[in-house]
Structure 1
């Protein structure tokens, strides 16, 4: 085994049946989050869109509202598409229960696409562990400093995807120490919705790869447009996550930074083209070049490999 192969192997993780890491196809996730706005019909439509685009998985967010909502915000009223209601009622309104997730689990299986979620509290980890088809867990950037949550996720033994937005290098290092590096995947992210191009800092992909040489590095994007996500793939991201929506004009804080179905098709298509184009870095003369060489090169050199 060559050193390069060995490095690739130790930076490979598994999500379901798929190996994820350098040398493997980019694992593409359509982040549904709460863009379904509590509608199971919309969740199904988003799963369908992700599957049709060629995504490997869709991701949701799971919260226990009474734990994740500050107590002083519970009774604050706000306008919603369903009328004026307290914030705690709104948080319940956009959460799916176990029956809903059973339906999501069945629908995703029917479409041949993985699904998992970002649990925001320990009871939500326990909730997600009831589903055999949940093969990984995601730590939202906002939860990176929650050691109790990280320990609960580590105890599942599943691959944990850790987003690093709004976090310092010291906080990231601590989270990796709590989770352990053997079963994690790190995602560079900027936690602004939408994130401006000048704050994406895509060179952090290389910084993370050098800081954590045994960990695969991915990208969770919150920008508008597709170009910078594609650039992340060209820079080595082996995991890509983008929020998806049926319509960017829909109600909700994440909608404007999300990708609509037709954009998602283009994104996955172009990721696969970039994968093919990157190659292995070994210079060679392709058979397809021999004809142009014979026609265009005035002085033919020796094609033998140098010893």
Structure 2
């Protein structure tokens, strides 16, 4: 008999009505992001898609463009469906404000699904706090923004921390700043679209062992297989960008999941959860008759 390595166990985190962590249903997040292209009606349709598929939440992105857009990019010219404009003007064009988010909140409530967003600056944290979101999501691009992390921490809300394009030393500082009491980490690779060879799903276990918190997966790949494999490797939450049509205009559309794909993804996640079981090897009920009829020598 050989000894087996002891696996790190983590405590679930309460996010709204749901516990997120080991032994709990995978918390599936449909990231709308900016795939609504500044249109509240498209955002509502995407909320409908997520609700029908069985997701627990939809996620947006919230920015104060003057703060969040890097200075060297503000004046860059960009071709958009609304004509050529500066990158700063474009970010204003696709940004939702109070009126739009009130409509989003009402529609999400009607559909029985939570909503929240990734704040990209401190005023956006304050705005989302005023909307009483159940959780804050720190985007991979913001993991080194300590002012933002402190504002998120001080909100008292649980935090989803994405770890794309980050070294362990940067994640260490972020975790030290946020604390681990209400933290769920998300393994991510910030390549759009994400090739399988850059996914590195075994980092899910490595992050759990290093930080002792629940770890999920934020995917940007084309297809569904990698996200399902993440669940098999212990991801407690799965986040994927969603779209009405990958041919729509926008930088994130091609790495997003269409409505039919989202339905299949949630279905396959739930089947994988059932298939994982509890890890205790034993004779299953369906095996009993075969054991009796096929085993010639019993122990």
- TM-score w.r.t. the length of structure 2 is 0.95
Counterpart in the other structure of 2:25: 25
Contact 2:10 2:22 in 1 (8 A): no
Root mean square deviation of aligned Cα: 1.3
Aligned mates of 1:212, 1:164 — CA distance in 2: 13
Counterpart in the other structure of 1:216: 214
Contact 1:8 1:22 in 2 (8 A): no
After alignment, is 7-16 or 278-287 more displaced? 7-16
Counterpart in the other structure of 2:156: 157
Aligned mates of 2:108, 2:20 — CA distance in 1: 20
- TM-score w.r.t. the length of structure 1 is 0.93
Contact 1:8 1:21 in 2 (8 A): no
Counterpart in the other structure of 2:64: 64
Counterpart in the other structure of 2:266: 268
1:204 aligns with 2:234: no
Counterpart in the other structure of 2:128: 128
Aligned mates of 2:10, 2:215 — CA distance in 1: 12
Deviations 1:58-83 (A, max 9, x none): 00000000001233433332210011
Shift of 1:158: 0.6
Deviations 1:66-118 (A, max 9, x none): 00123343333221001122222111100001000000000000000011000
Aligned mates of 1:254, 1:173 — CA distance in 2: 28
Aligned mates of 1:77, 1:197 — CA distance in 2: 33
Counterpart in the other structure of 1:178: 177
Any residues of structure 2 matched to 1:30-49 within 5 Å, and which? 30-49=30-49
After alignment, is 287-296 or 140-149 more displaced? 287-296
Contact 1:29 1:240 in 2 (8 A): yes
Contact 2:146 2:177 in 1 (8 A): yes
Counterpart in the other structure of 1:147: 146
Aligned mates of 1:229, 1:72 — CA distance in 2: 35
Contact 2:8 2:208 in 1 (8 A): no
- Given candidates 246, 257, 260, the residue that maps to 1:259 is 257
Aligned mates of 2:138, 2:223 — CA distance in 1: 24
Contact 1:136 1:161 in 2 (8 A): yes
CA 206–10 in structure 1, closer or farther in 2 if over 3 Å, else same: closer
* Runs of 5+ unmatched residues, structure 2: 1-6
Aligned mates of 2:246, 2:10 — CA distance in 1: 39
Shift of 1:300: 3.4
Contact 1:8 1:23 in 2 (8 A): no
* Runs of 5+ unmatched residues, structure 1: 1-6, 302-307
After alignment, is 71-80 or 135-144 more displaced? 71-80
Contact 2:143 2:162 in 1 (8 A): yes
CA 72–205 in structure 1, closer or farther in 2 if over 3 Å, else same: closer
Contact 2:217 2:230 in 1 (8 A): yes
What is the DSSP-based 3-state SS (H/G/I as helix, E as strand, rest coil) of the residue aligned with 2:130? coil
Contact 2:158 2:182 in 1 (8 A): yes
What is the DSSP-based 3-state SS (H/G/I as helix, E as strand, rest coil) of the residue aligned with 1:280? coil
Aligned mates of 2:264, 2:8 — CA distance in 1: 28
What is the DSSP-based 3-state SS (H/G/I as helix, E as strand, rest coil) of the residue aligned with 2:185? strand
Aligned mates of 2:45, 2:138 — CA distance in 1: 25
